[in-house]
Amino acid sequence: MKITNICCIGAGYVGGPTMAVIAEKCPHIKVTVVDLNEARIAAWNDEDVNNIPIYEPGLNEIVAKARGRNLFFSTEVDKAIDEAELIFISVNTPTKTYGTGKGMAADLKYIELCARQIARVAKTDKIIVEKSTLPVRTAEAIKSILNNTGNGVQFQILSNPEFLAEGTAVQDLLHPDRVLIGGETSPEGQEAIETLVDVYAHWVPRERILKTNVWSSELSKLTANAFLAQRVSSINAISELCEKTEANVNEVAKAIGMDSRIGPKFLKASVGFGGSCFQKDILNLVYISKAFGLHEVADYWEQVIIMNDHQKRRFSKNIVQTLYNTVSGKKITFLGWAFKKDTNDTRESAAIYVADDLINEQANIALYDPKVGHKQVLSDLNYLETRQPAENEKYIKTFDDPYQACENAHAIAILTEWDEFKAYDWKKIYDSMLKPAFVFDGRNLLDPAEMRAIGFVYQSIGS
Ligand code: NAD
Ligand code: UGA
């Protein structure tokens, strides 16, 4: 099948950047990204390309180039489905908050709604691509819906999980380590795989495009995230041991990372991993394993989450203990709220949980993040439902200027590894704080010797 028209359902952190890159690299294909969220689509269409809803380095340039040429953002879902030969499903798949599997299983209601909508609208044969991260064997459910409620139209379902990381999404999409495409082993399935391969081959070397069966593809995505998260929890577990033994976690990470079998990436000890996917995907893996009666497998992966929760908790506990066992009425400045640098995404950010713990201890939190505003911070805290929204509002204040945020603070906590924090005039910050001036560096971002030379009582993770 020759592709001239692509539709992507879901204009989020995956759908938006992924389709922008496909449109940029395939100017002969019309790419329409649709979403039910009118405000989000309006922001994607904002005249000023700096106002698009997702902050990713380099994304606005690509959108500026392709938007209106062959890249379109729209709320007309039916129309885009009808016109497309290839439909990506890139909607959210959060952890279920109700019923069976609550707190563990992936909530597939948005996926099912998409499948039903496609079945209702499609009049010509289509290839449906699972771009969202899904439990293994979801393609079967999608296929059943499409084949039983459709109007005689032929559908092929492919799994094409996305491996981009936020903050580096554009580079990850332009130069992926691999593109994974899973499809049926039938001739029709193989033909559908080749059709999608041809789209990616416009910029990805063919040897990096991996073809598997659908189930391997679905499971590989969950496995990749589980392995990555496990590395962070592993080094974080060692960080606590380092603190007891005068070993330094950065030195340990370097030493083990030079072993080519281990490798140097993803060994940065931190206040804990965040983001919308690691926790949700591991919980999903745990749930699936339990469903098959594989309790040892489930327990093994669940420990990655348990360790991560412990790492966040012990960071806030240490702040309270170090500040003479009370932070009540004290000003604690947070530098960073996003779950990592170079993104405005705050989902599951460790900062939210640390703030929640400290507000329980009646600390006053002053906050600065270069890309996250007051409304988002409050919404993240309110989502936890620990206390009334008005209470949260009382305890948290956001600033546009980091120096103001730090003035008269008892302590600073670094929660996100934004590069700009390294360039601050730390002497000026020190002079404006109450003494002793504490810094709790949750990202091991600053130079301990320099910070101590200025006069700070400086603590980092794992040393
Ligand atoms: P997101 O919440 O940012 O975006 C999803 C969008 O889908 C929302 O804008 C929502 O309004 C829209 N939507 C939901 N149901 C819809 C429907 N029926 N019709 C039209 N629009 C609908 O989520 P995201 O971060 O882009 O993640 C999407 C999927 O990709 C998830 O499965 C996630 O696990 C996976 N993933 C995410 C990342 C990441 O870095 N965020 C990376 C790889 C994979
Ligand atoms: C992660 C994966 O890296 C992507 O491959 C995957 O596509 C994506 O999840 C997804 O499925 O959503 P992302 O969550 O965007 O990407 O960002 P990461 O760079 O993986 O960071 C996740 C968290 O781990 C962040 O909070 C980060 O600060 C933390 N981290 C990462 C560490 O604490 N230490 C490290 O060494 C690396």
What average pLDDT score do residues 190-196 get? 98
397: tokens are 């204040």
pLDDT of residue 152: 85
What average pLDDT score do residues 199-226 get? 97
Mode of pairing for the β-strands spanning 411-414 and 438-441: parallel
What average pLDDT score do residues 208-236 get? 97
pLDDT of residue 151: 78
pLDDT digits (tens, 9 = 90+) for 101-117: 999 999 999 999 999 99
Q: How far is CA 23 from CA 5, 170, 221, 451, in A?
A: 10, 13, 24, 47
pLDDT digits (tens, 9 = 90+) for 336-368: 999 999 999 999 999 999 999 999 999 999 999
Residues contacting ligand 1 via CB (< 6 Å): 9-15, 34-37, 40, 77, 90-93, 110, 113-114, 132-133, 162, 164, 166, 276-277
pLDDT of residue 321: 98
Asked whether the predicted pLDDT for residue 21 surpasses 90, the reply is yes
Active-site amino acid positions: 277
- CA 212 vs. chain centroid, Å, equals 25
Residue 214 in contact with residue 182, Cβ under 8 Å?
yes
d(CA 280, CA 293): 20
| Dihedrals phi, psi of 397, to nearest 5 degrees | -130, 130
Mutate to test the pocket of ligand 2, among 232, 280, 305, 460 (most ligand atoms within 8 A of CB): 232
pLDDT digits (tens, 9 = 90+) for 283-294: 999 999 999 999
- Rg (the chain; Cα; Å): 24
- Give the model's confidence band at 139: pLDDT under 50 very low, under 70 low, under 90 confident, else very high: very high
Quick one: which of 112, 111, 106, 19 has its CA closest to 70?
19
Mutate to test the pocket of ligand 1, among 221, 277, 348 (most ligand atoms within 8 A of CB): 277
Q: Residue 271 Cα, ligand 1 centroid: separation in angstroms?
A: 26
d(CA 259, CA 200): 33
Q: Which atom of ligand 1 is nearest to the CA of 91?
A: 7
Q: Residue 305 Cα, ligand 2 centroid: separation in angstroms?
A: 14
Instruction: Identify any residues that bridge with 396 across adjacent strands, giving them in sequence order.
Output: 365
What is the average pLDDT value for the chain, to the nearest integer? Answer: 97
pLDDT digits (tens, 9 = 90+) for 327-337: 999 999 999 99
pLDDT of residue 236: 98
Q: Is the CB of 277 under 6 A from ligand 2?
A: yes
- Give the model's confidence band at 150: pLDDT under 50 very low, under 70 low, under 90 confident, else very high: low
Q: How many other C-beta atoms are found inside a 10 Å radius of the C-beta of residue 30?
A: 19
pLDDT of residue 148: 86
Q: Which atom of ligand 2 is nearest to the CA of 164?
A: 7
pLDDT of residue 104: 95
Q: Is the CB of 268 under 6 A from ligand 2?
A: yes
Q: How far is CA 360 from CA 286, 306, 328, 438, in A?
A: 30, 21, 9, 20
pLDDT digits (tens, 9 = 90+) for 399-438: 999 999 999 999 999 999 999 999 999 999 999 999 999 9
Q: Residue 54 Cα, ligand 1 centroid: separation in angstroms?
A: 12
pLDDT digits (tens, 9 = 90+) for 434-454: 999 999 999 999 999 999 999
Residue 93 in contact with residue 141, Cβ under 8 Å?
no
d(CA 276, CA 38): 22
The protein residue whose alpha carbon is closest to atom 34 in ligand 2 is 268
Whole-model pTM?
Answer: 0.97
Q: Which atom of ligand 2 is nearest to the CA of 172?
A: 5
pLDDT of residue 334: 98
What average pLDDT score do residues 265-275 get? 98
Determine the angle formed by the axes of helices 109-121 and 138-149, rounding to 10 degrees: 30
Q: How many other C-beta atoms are found inside a 10 Å radius of the C-beta of residue 116?
A: 15
pLDDT of residue 304: 98
Q: Residue 16 Cα, ligand 1 centroid: separation in angstroms?
A: 9
Instruction: Identify any residues that bridge with 364 across adjacent strands, giving them in sequence order.
Output: 331
Q: How many other C-beta atoms are found inside a 10 Å radius of the C-beta of residue 369?
A: 24
Asked whether the predicted pLDDT for residue 149 surpasses 80, the reply is no
d(CA 283, CA 286): 5
d(CA 220, CA 234): 20
With pLDDT > 90 as the criterion, what percentage of the chain qualifies? 98
d(CA 172, CA 348): 22
pLDDT of residue 8: 98
- CA 174 vs. chain centroid, Å, equals 18
Instruction: Identify any residues that bridge with 439 across adjacent strands, giving them in sequence order.
Output: 412, 458
Q: Is the CB of 165 under 6 A from ligand 2?
A: yes
Q: How many other C-beta atoms are found inside a 10 Å radius of the C-beta of residue 100?
A: 8
Q: Which atom of ligand 1 is nearest to the CA of 165?
A: 40
What average pLDDT score do residues 235-240 get? 98
Q: Residue 55 Cα, ligand 2 centroid: separation in angstroms?
A: 16
